[in-house]
Structure 1
Amino acid sequence: MASAASRMDAFALIAPVFIPATIGGAGYAAYKINWAETIKSFLRGPGRTRRILVLLFVFFNWKNLPFAWTFRVFYSIIHHALIRKAPSLGPRALFKPMISTTRAPLLEIDYNLHKSNSTFFTDLDVSRSHLVTYLFRPALRKLTYNQQSRLVLDPKTGEPMKGPLAILLGAVQCSFKREVAPFRAYELWSRLLCWDRKWLYIVTHFVPKGTAKPTEWLDPSYRGVRVRSGQDASGGWERKIIATAISKYVFKVGRFTVHPALMLDDAGMLPERPGGWMSGEDQVGDESADVGDVNLAVEGEWDWRRIEAQRRKGMELADKFQGLEDAHGLFDGGNQGALRRTWPG
């Protein structure tokens, strides 16, 4: 979502004109086409075998075609921000997962005849875009027009910060456990893990399609979809998980870093907290507050103590993830020599 969301300000301006014009143009072109003759020529005309094979290849590998990644990412943003605007679900939705389904087409298969590890990251781009746009839509819109909304102010002058909205990907770490066979369907369950003064952390689990089913859906438009019956919806999945990834995002207005808690609060995801969510030495609230008695294994009211307990639990893992930053210091610039240059790269 890094590159796509950084252009949301421009997209918000052109979308009201671009989308209707595109749909209208496509509809008029479709109206003018003689579909019966076109289909007949396609299926029966000279070279039909090659055309049908090419069509089947495109159909089963569309997600790897040129500009398909761009379409998938921008569609997630357009869908949740403009077409079917995400509802405001409140603090209870803060740590709930967004589920997306896809497959491993032929062009993602490596020489081991399963999904290449490198292709997991394009799926993550799309899954994170769905989650962040869905949760933060009101705040993202305000940041897009920060001069008018005054959501983020310059701490020195008190005036609105200037510059375009950007949501930048800082790092991704993915741990692989099981392979994905060709054309097999799988799901990505992405949810908020935690946040600190700078970073928003997201955890994503890859699982085979149909492996897990939620006990409820929070989105009102999805209430009619079947849910999982039973008391425990979290046991035994470690034997089926394909991979798990952690990503971190930073919100920017121009070059100014926006506190993730400010975004969460403006999106209606945080309840009131004594002293606020951006107080304290590390600007993540009063860390001396005791929340050890909160039982996260039992569903309860999502007040500030429960949310803070969940955030701290996530930070235990995020702190280890942040330790990878020290690896940058291992680069010596060739002071100890090198092997050689290779081609192709």
Structure 2
Amino acid sequence: MAGALAVGAVVAGLSTHPIFREIAARYLGQGAFGKIWKLAALALALVNLKNIPGFWHLRVLRGIIYQIYFQPTVQLPKHLFAPMITSSYNTLYDCDYNIHKSNSTYFADLDVARAHYVGCLVRTGLARLNRGDEEGLSTDTKKTPGKYFVALGAVSCFFQRQIEPLQSFEVYTRILTWDRKWIYIISHIVRKGAIKPDSYVLQPWKKSKKSKKSNAGKDEPEEDLTKHIFATSVARYVFKKGRLTINPEIVLERSRLTPRRPEGVGFPPRAEAASNGATPVVVGTPAENGTLSSPENVATEVSSKLDSVADMTNRAENADDWTWDDMEKERLRGLVLASHFDKLNDSHNELRAGEVLGQYGDYF
């Protein structure tokens, strides 16, 4: 930032010096200084390209269109919880008066990251549903007019470290969990290049950036990845047909992203008994407003359900196989965190009327 300001000050100072003006006019013509300022304005626009009006729409639409229509490979069930990486940088326009990335600008970059990820996640499922693949759905769902679609229901962002001007970063986005109504997406904004993936599922031609030395140390303790995090965001999406809400697992199944469903297992919230004949445990039961019950209750339910899943005997012999039990364990683990996020719905009840401190305009 200081370097850019210094260069600008030097150019402005030299432009007033007679000798510099004479040299510039000799080699660049009489309108040299007009060209210089035009080039400077163009350079400034290129540095802040993603902030040009309308460019956010291009970034989001590009992500959606590419993932739905041009992504050459497909995601497998065992990669359901694998993150997708998108990269960007902090422009000068994104900086606030503290000379680092403004909190409001995080959400625009997160929109682009989730556009890529959600487009890839549901492209097959929504397409099949809209083509009429409604086998197993209720009669009311089939008769409801309208197309199947996905909509953003809430988003939050927790800031950890500041992002400096012109600093590059990456956004790791993946599924956290889902319940009967919402699918929860978690995004981590991290320092660019700090995390080295083992492989790229949708881009098999890309090679891992991990060094051979790091791959050799299998007994070394796992790296603390949180030290690379700038911010973390949680968002939730809902699938709809008209005004009717569709269980997220229906879409994930039609996207071929879930393992084979065991017999007798329904959609969330599930009521399943352990193999030892224990009382069925219902996990993720929504409250009246369609959201999860209290975090404490969910944590207890999930703990019991995880024990139940661990006792099941239908696990595949091959430990490398991704089974329904594996998926359910990961879903339930994320459900505990999602239940706390979901409780923020109660904040709507905190709106107060009556005495206020004042009313002020945006500009005057």
TM-score computed with the length of structure 1 as normaliser: 0.77
8 Å contact from structure 1 (residues 97, 191) kept in 2: yes
How far off is 1:166 after superposition? 3.0
1:339 lines up with 2:357 in the alignment: yes
Partner of 1:317: 337
Q: After superposition, where does 1:177-192 map in structure 2 within 5 Å?
A: 177-192=160-175
Partner of 2:152: 169
Q: Give the 3 Å change call, closer, same or farther, for CA 213–339 of structure 1 in structure 2.
A: same
1:84 lines up with 2:71 in the alignment: yes
Pick aligned residue for 1:115 from 98, 101, 106: 101
> Alignment partner of 2:60: what SS?
helix
Per-residue deviation, residues 307-339 of structure 1 (Å, max 9, x unmatched) = 00000000010000011011111113x13x111
Q: After superposition, where does 1:224-263 map in structure 2 within 5 Å?
A: 224-228=206-210, 229-230=214-215, 231=218, 235-263=223-251
Q: Which has the higher contact order (CA 8 A, sep 6+)?
A: 1
Pick aligned residue for 1:223 from 190, 205, 224: 205
Moved more, 162-171 or 303-312: 162-171
> Alignment partner of 1:222: what SS?
coil
Partner of 1:302: 322
Partner of 1:103: 89
> Which amino acid counterpart does residue 343 of structure 1 have in structure 2?
G
1-structure distance, mates of 2:185, 2:272: 20
Per-residue deviation, residues 192-238 of structure 1 (Å, max 9, x unmatched) = 0000001000111111101101112212x333333425247952111
Q: After superposition, where does 1:29-68 map in structure 2 within 5 Å?
A: 46=31, 47-68=34-55
8 Å contact from structure 1 (residues 204, 244) kept in 2: yes
> Which amino acid counterpart does residue 155 of structure 2 have in structure 1?
V
Partner of 2:79: 93
> Which amino acid counterpart does residue 301 of structure 1 have in structure 2?
D
2-structure distance, mates of 1:235, 1:83: 35
How far off is 1:273 after superposition? 2.3
1-structure distance, mates of 2:111, 2:221: 26
Per-residue deviation, residues 240-286 of structure 1 (Å, max 9, x unmatched) = 21111110000112111111101110111101122466446x25877
Percent identity for Structure 1 against Structure 2: 33
2-structure distance, mates of 1:200, 1:45: 62
Partner of 1:5: none
> Alignment partner of 2:93: what SS?
helix
Gaps of 5+ in 1: 1-42
Pick aligned residue for 1:72 from 47, 59, 65: 59
> Which amino acid counterpart does residue 121 of structure 1 have in structure 2?
F
Q: Give the 3 Å change call, closer, same or farther, for CA 339–81 of structure 1 in structure 2.
A: same
Partner of 2:346: 326
TM-score computed with the length of structure 2 as normaliser: 0.74
2-structure distance, mates of 1:307, 1:44: 69
Q: Give the 3 Å change call, closer, same or farther, for CA 156–82 of structure 1 in structure 2.
A: closer
2-structure distance, mates of 1:277, 1:93: 22
1:142 lines up with 2:125 in the alignment: no
> Which amino acid counterpart does residue 105 of structure 1 have in structure 2?
T
Number of aligned residues: 291
1-structure distance, mates of 2:189, 2:64: 21
1:130 lines up with 2:116 in the alignment: yes
How far off is 1:137 after superposition? 1.2
8 Å contact from structure 1 (residues 154, 161) kept in 2: no
How far off is 1:158 after superposition? 6.7
How far off is 1:302 after superposition? 1.4
1:193 lines up with 2:186 in the alignment: no
- Alpha-carbon RMSD: 2.5
2-structure distance, mates of 1:91, 1:45: 66
Partner of 2:309: 291
